[in-house]
């Protein structure tokens, strides 16, 4: 399995680790830490050296309760970082955005993947992504970041999220986005209770059509905190446990803050998964 990023295949036989680079003042885990251009570029270079296969640059927090950021401010945050990293790295870059204007500018600056928590549902987003030639990741979110955790309800969360992602994949295909440019994300923590998140993680292998890579992002999230009782900065062990279990259930991309440790865990979990299917260590 692979996904095309700017026409270049990113192999997913060994699951890829996507490094999280938040250039925001208010992200739940590392808000403000990489707000300066120098700090952000240094962190991107560090993640690449640690083994990240993709680096995801985000300029608007989507944590529960987050307020929206206007387009101009989001562009000011992400474009210099993407340009700076594109000039220094051969690692594919992703932009975490829902705004068509940011998608177009970020791809022009060097991003090869659009990671959208709204699954290209914003007005003009689907058309912008299709025209860009970039790969896309379509995430499920119920509601909006400001209110998504106020009382999320599902009949069958696995069936409902799976059906939504399938519909968005089909919308992308109809818009001219080639299948090999598409991946999906069940949106752990986005409009879901802990029991919903756990059900989705347990059913990852049933959430996507064959050949559609699944991205999983649980790194430092509240689900880990609820289970372990630890604050965001102390959730590495729990995050790594979820990463390993996600790989065992078929995740193709693991989105993480702690790249080096996650790369090691993904290698071990992938080796075990391969052995279970009759493969061998490479």
Cβ proximity of 134 and 6 under 8 Å: yes
Distance in angstroms (rounded) separating the CA atoms of residues 82 and 209: 31
Residue 172 is inside which H or E element, if any? helix 157-174
Strands 135-139 and 113-116: parallel
> What is the DSSP track for 174-228?
HTT--GGGEEEE--TTSS--HHHHHHHHHTGGGSS-TT--BEEE-TT-HHHHHHH
Cβ proximity of 37 and 76 under 8 Å: no
Q: Is 255 in the active site?
A: yes
| CB neighbours of residue 200 within 10 Å | 22
Contacts of 222 (CB under 8 A, 6+ apart): 28, 64, 189
Catalytic residue (one of 77, 168, 221, 249): 221
Catalytic residue (one of 142, 168, 235, 255): 255
| Catalytic residue list | 221, 255
């Amino acid at each position: 399995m692979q996904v095309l990023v700017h026409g270049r295949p990113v192999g997913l036989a060994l699951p890829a680790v996507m490094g999280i680079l938040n250039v925001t003042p208010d992200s739940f885990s590392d808000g403000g830490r990489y707000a300066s251009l120098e700090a952000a570029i240094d962190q991107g270079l560090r993640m690449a050296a640690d083994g990240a296969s993709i680096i995801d640059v985000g300029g608007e927090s989507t944590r529960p309760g987050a307020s929206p950021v206007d387009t101009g401010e989001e562009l000011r945050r992400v474009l210099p970082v993407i340009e700076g990293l594109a000039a220094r790295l051969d690692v594919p870059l992703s932009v975490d955005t829902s705004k068509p204007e940011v998608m177009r500018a970020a791809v022009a600056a060097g991003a090869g993947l659009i990671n959208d928590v709204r699954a290209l549902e914003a007005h003009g987003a689907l058309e912008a992504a299709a025209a860009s030639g970039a790969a896309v990741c379509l995430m499920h979110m119920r509601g909006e970041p400001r209110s998504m955790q106020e009382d999320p309800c599902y009949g069958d969360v696995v069936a409902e999220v799976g059906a939504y992602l399938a519909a968005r994949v089909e919308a992308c295909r109809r818009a001219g986005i080639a299948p090999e440019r598409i991946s999906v994300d069940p949106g752990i923590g986005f409009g879901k209770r802990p029991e919903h998140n756990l059900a989705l993680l347990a059913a990852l292998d049933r959430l996507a059509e064959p050949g559609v890579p699944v991205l999983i992002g649980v790194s430092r999230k509240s689900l880990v905190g609820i289970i372990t009782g630890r604050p965001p900065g102390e959730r590495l062990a729990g995050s790594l446990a979820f990463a390993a279990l996600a790989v065992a259930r078929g995740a193709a991309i693991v989105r993480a803050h702690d790249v080096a440790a996650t790369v090691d865990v993904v290698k071990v979990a992938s080796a075990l998964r391969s052995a279970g299917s009759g493969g061998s260590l490479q």
